[in-house]
Amino acid sequence: MVFQGGAAGPRHPTQSQILEKVSEWYTIFTLAFQVVLGFAVIKVITGVFLTETMKVASMDDSIMLKSKERAVRLHKEKMGRLFQHADLDGDGGIDCEEFQQLLADKEVRSWLASMELEIWSAKDGQDLFEMIDDGDGQVTLDELVKGVARLKGQARNVDLALLGQRVGELRSEISTMQQTYTTLSSTSALERLTASVELLGQRLAALPSSHQI
């Protein structure tokens, strides 16, 4: 008999007794556990590998340039399809009426919203047309591509910096205009005062002197 413990100590089951008393169905659970654990480890290793790969790719200038070029090409293709859908008369330009008809389509508005360009009302469409148009009342394909690319998404730091610079320039121009207006107003008042004094002098000269009375 295999020695299992001291004379007074507790008896522990041996490996043979465990194998004899435990059901063979536990093998299925054991295999399932090993398979799940193996897949989990593989997924973790794959995730770490992909994370490091994407990090290296994000720092590679050539990959970033190609990704940007691909995004620009895809944007031009999308805007080309949108332009063809909006140019009803086929004259190569979209007027305000055609633009409003385009935005009246709910699917078009949803499509623009997916590109982070929200249109909630006809007034928004009018404002968008005016911001894209160069002033001739017709939006060309090139204007549509550049305008939507400039306006979609959230405000960037460069946009905020440019806005601050423009506001500063406007303040400087307004201050200069105020100074010019003040100077002109003072000059005009001085001129009116001088003219009044001259007129008063002429009237005094026209009065008879004391020896003539």
Structural domain contains residue 7: no
Task: Give the C-alpha separation, 4 to 7, whole Å.
Answer: 9
pLDDT digits (tens, 9 = 90+) for 78-137: 888 888 888 888 888 888 888 888 888 888 888 888 877 777 887 888 888 888 888 888
CATH number at residue 121: 1.10.238.10
**The total number of structural domains that make up the chain:** 2
Question: Same structural domain for residues 103 and 143?
Answer: yes
Q: What is the pLDDT of residue 2?
A: 44
Q: Please state, rounded to an integer, the average pLDDT across all residues of the chain.
A: 76
Q: Is residue 81 part of a domain?
A: yes
Q: Which residue has the higher pLDDT, 85 or 162?
A: 85
**Helix or strand or coil: residue 95?**
coil
Q: Which two tokens stand for residue 31?
A: 């295999």
Q: Are 84 and 131 members of one domain? A: yes
Indicate whether 162 and 143 sit together in one domain: no
pLDDT surpasses 70 at 182: yes
Instruction: Kindly state whether residues 81 and 139 are assigned to the same domain.
Output: yes
Q: What are the angstrom distances between the C-alpha of 112 and each of 72, 106, 118, 167, 197?
A: 16, 10, 7, 30, 70
208, pLDDT greater than 80: no
- Position 50 in a domain: no
Does 182 reside within a domain?
A: yes
Return the axis-axis angle of helices 106-114 and 96-103, rounded to nearest 10°: 90
126 in the same domain as 186:
no
Range of the domain at 129: 74-151
Residue 14 is assigned to a structural domain of this protein: no
**What distance lies between CA 133 and its chain's CA centroid?**
20
Whether residue 30 is contained in a domain is answered as no
Supply the pTM of this predicted model: 0.46
135 and 92 in a single domain? The answer is: yes
State whether 86 and 109 are in the same domain: yes
Check whether residue 171 and residue 146 sit in a common domain. Answer: no
* Shared-domain flag, residues 90 and 116: yes
pLDDT in the model for residue 146: 86
Phi-psi region of 140 (alpha: psi -120 to 50; beta: other; left: phi over 0): beta
Averaged pLDDT, 167-190? 76
Residue 175 lies in a domain: yes
Across residues 137-156, what is the average pLDDT? 80
Judge if 115 and 171 occupy the same domain.
Answer: no
The more confidently predicted of residues 100 and 163 is 100
| pLDDT tens digits, 190-206 | 677 777 777 766 766 66
Looking at residue 187, its pLDDT comes to 63
Q: Are residues 101 and 146 in the same domain?
A: yes
Beta bridge partners of 139: 94
- Answer whether residue 1 shows pLDDT above 50: no
> Tokens at residue 156, please?
């960037």
Same domain, 133 and 169: no
Q: How confident is the model at residue 51 (pLDDT cuts 50, 70, 90)?
A: confident
Residue 8 has pLDDT above 60, yes or no: no
Average pLDDT, integer, range 66-72: 82
